[in-house]
Structure formats: structure tokens, C-alpha cells
Amino acid sequence: MLQKKAVPPEKFSSDEFRLDPNLVWYLRPFFQFLYYHYFRVKTVGISNIPCSESGIIVANHAGVLPYDGVMLNLAVSNNHKQHRPVRFLVHDFAFQLPLLGSLVERLGGVRASPENALRLLNKNRLILVFPEGVKGIGKLYDGRYNLKKFGRGGFIRTAIMAKAPIIPTAIIGSEEIHPALWNSKYLGEKIGVPYIPITPTFPWLGPLGLIPLPTKWKMIFGKPIRLNKYNLKDTKNDDLMLTLAENIKQKIQKMINKELSKRSSIWR
């Protein structure tokens, strides 16, 4: 059995961001296999995800390919009582690769920008933001789970403008699927990406080296954080935005550290 409950295609209706509901439905069994049997994802705090209003899920980031975005989407659509889909915001570099960019869009990814985020939130959608950006997916194995700077606080501005709650989220397991020993910016420039990770299996095993390790994943959704006391004027205060973003980062870091302290193995 690949999933607990099938989500009907209408949950993935097409939109202006080029989501392809037919492709999502066609590939769903494969991703459900990864979710239930390969990464064996466990969720905690799923009730902290809003039932109908908009929300910004903010999480740590890892991996060159957006496995974490797809798995978190499944975590919510599989386990939330409303089976809500999540749209994940994707860095521009993914769209510099025609095949990857198109695939990510058709599976629900949206080019990361304040305008796109607001368009989704104003329609009461859930969005997933990885504020670490490229630095997050570029962490070496020795630096895994040590959060990088949360950008310039853009997601804080978006939350205030949309009056949307922020759901701090810790993803455990994703940062070991491709244990990067070092990153080659030289090779990355050749194909238009920030870098190429060098791992124990890639490029030594060729395409087989791109297969992620079957680590055990856990996603912890924290209680929503509301920024209702702030207004549009506050969004112009750069120092305040950075401070609020740092507070969210520290909260997620504590969630990660707490979970790691209880983990005995990356495999179970």
C-alpha cells in the first residue's frame, strides 16, 4: 500500500503557475513510495497547519533536487485532515535548466518572489519557504543541520503583508541523503547551477551516484507564529525584518537540535 488515502486530482487543479494536475497524479505513486517506504517519513504537529486559511511553512533546506519540498507537500496532503496541497517556492537557478525548471513547475514548484508568494497567500494557499536558499542546499556534510542565514527577511515581510501565520518546521533526515564532501563551483558553472556536490558516490558512480540515501525522515511542524502586531510600515524597517527572521531561525534550530539529540541513527 503506497498511501493512506488518495487525494483526488481536483485537489491539484491547474493554475497560472503551470501546475500540471495530470503529471502530479501520474507520478504520485512513485513519490508516495519514496514517502512511505524509502524515506519512511514521520510527521509531528500536523494539526498546527491551518485548516483553511493561508500559511507560510518555513523549514530548513537540503539536497540539490527538491526532495524536501515534495516530501513536505505529501506530508501535509497525506496527513492533514483537509489534505491540503502545499506550493513550494523555488530558487531562480532551478529555472535556468529547462528540463528541471519545467518539471518543478509542473509538480507544484513556484519561482520564489514576494509577488508570487502574495498571489498564493491571497488565495488562502499554503506555501513552503526555504529561507536558507542556495546556501542551505550547499551545506557540506560536516555542516548539516546548522542553519544558514535566513536571507533578508523577505518571508517576514510577506507574512505581515498577507496577514498569514508562519509555521516553523524542522526536517530531519533530508540533510544526509547526499553527503557532500565539497562543492565544485567550476563544474556547476558549466551547466548553469551554483555548484556540483562531490559525494562518496557522485560523480564516481555516474548517474547511480545521484540516487539519494534512504535515510529516515521526520518532520516537526511547530505552532503557528502570528505577526499581527506589525503593519506595512514595519516592513520597511530592515533591521526589524532581519531580527524577526533570526528569531524564526533560532526557533527552528532549537527544534532541530532537540530532535537530533533523541536520534540514535540516520537510518531509523
Report pLDDT for 13: 57
Q: Is residue 244 within 8 Å of residue 156, measured between CB atoms?
A: yes
Report pLDDT for 2: 44
- pTM score, whole prediction: 0.92
- In this structure, the dihedral spanned by the alpha carbons of residues 114, 245, 224 and 215, taken in order and rounded to 10 degrees, is 90
For domain 9-177+212-262, which CATH number applies: 3.40.1130.10, 3.40.1160.10, 3.20.20.105, 3.40.710.10? 3.40.1130.10
Segments making up each domain of the chain, as ranges: 9-177+212-262
Q: Please state the φ and ψ torsions of residue 208, each to the nearest 5 degrees.
A: -65, -25
The tens place of each residue's pLDDT in the chain, 268 residues long, gives 444 455 554 455 567 898 998 999 999 999 999 999 999 999 999 999 999 999 999 999 987 778 999 999 999 999 999 999 999 998 877 777 767 778 888 988 999 999 999 999 999 999 999 999 888 888 999 999 999 999 999 999 999 999 999 999 999 999 999 999 999 988 777 776 778 889 999 999 999 998 999 999 999 999 999 999 999 999 999 999 999 999 999 999 999 999 999 999 999 8
